Amino acid sequence: MRLAVEPRDLTHYPFLKESREFLAARGIKMYDLTASALGRRYLDAAVKRVQCAIDGKEIYPESPDVVADIVTYVLARVLASCIKDRNLIERLARMEAKRIYFYIHGEENEKLKSHVCETLGITFGLGTMPVLRYVELASTAREPKWRLINRDVDAGQVQISDDEQDTLLCERIRKILASQLPLTIPPSMEHEFAPWCETITTALQERTLAEFGVIDESAYPPCIQALIAGAVAGVNLTHSGRFAMTAFLSNIGMTPAQVAGILARSPDFNPDMTMYQVDHIMLHEYTTPACQTMLTYGICVNRDSLCDKASHPLGYYRSKKKQLEHRRLRVGVPAEKPKE
């Protein structure tokens, strides 16, 4: 017998196939939404949902309108797919994962909980996790306790506490949601939704500026400085070096064209191939590799005293920028202006 899922449950778990059936039964489609006032309100609400993710909100608030809650979930994913920015996709996936996990964790309907977990491919309450799955989910954690060498492993299973299980299962949901995006969006729909996408893109740019400020080359960590110097000098960077440099510059707000310009002096420079590679990295990767990974790649070089306090190139950049800004204030040097 098929499980009956209530409409309010679908707002908690909008990825279920029952949500699509719910919207289809009411004749709601993602096409031609701009033709009606209601459709435009849905799009406005979806923009606000995405903006919550951009702002780093933990959980998007529940709406009293069941239909609107489900539609905005779908539209938020569509809009993010139209924009095709991996940073945006990761932020949206992180917020939605926390929201979904919040409801799963407190779900009292065991049959519904089982249905949701089966759909996501996750398991609760075992106190253990297979090694391969553990390594996959714990790879983004920085604390030493998450390293496999520091865990109790028995018969291919890693022992985890309830709190650790919560963290890892939320990460599992995030990975699932992120892997589903970007969706393939028809050009006609991208054109139709362009004004709403522009609003989101502006919000994302403003958030990036708020997080990292005006790009300051003097605050780059030594590893990134070395990679850029090598590229400008005409050295063929390794794949890991190109990736690390591109991801870092993308994270702090550079455009694909600006990054490609840095790589233009490489001996094997091919404009079309370089733009393809840069676009691919910016689209499919979220952040710069951590310092430990840079060390593994052999591109952690010219370490300084600040490196000893940083575990990530972006953390170094933030700290160095603050140091430089305080120093400039002390000597009365005006802050740098944005580069054209």
- For every residue of 26-37, DSSP letters joined together read TT--STTGGGSH
DSSP state of 58: S
277, 239 Cβ separation under 8 angstroms: no
Q: pTM for this one? A: 0.69
Residues 138 and 220 in one domain: no
Q: Cβ atoms within 10 A of the Cβ of 11, count?
A: 23
Residues 161 and 268 in one domain: no
Tell whether 336 is covered by a domain. no
Higher pLDDT, 192 or 142: 192
CA distance 165 to 170: 8
Tell whether 66 is covered by a domain. yes
- Give the structural domain span for 121: 7-198
Question: In sequence order, which ranges of 55-65 are alpha helices (DSSP H)?
Answer: none
The confidence band for 267, taking pLDDT boundaries of 50, 70 and 90, is low
Residues 177 and 37 in one domain: yes
Residues 244 and 168 in one domain: no
Residues 189 and 242 in one domain: no
Residues 186 and 262 in one domain: no
Residues 300 and 249 in one domain: yes
Domain boundary, last residue among 150, 171, 198: 198
Residue 64: is its pLDDT beyond 50?
A: yes
Predicted pLDDT at 340: 44
Token couple for 186: 């028809």
Residues 243 and 141 in one domain: no
Residues 12 and 91 in one domain: yes
Question: What type of residue sits at position 27?
Answer: G
Query: What's the number of domains the chain is made of?
Result: 2
Tell whether 31 is covered by a domain. yes
Domain boundary, last residue among 169, 198, 227: 198
DSSP state of 13: S
The confidence band for 223, taking pLDDT boundaries of 50, 70 and 90, is very high
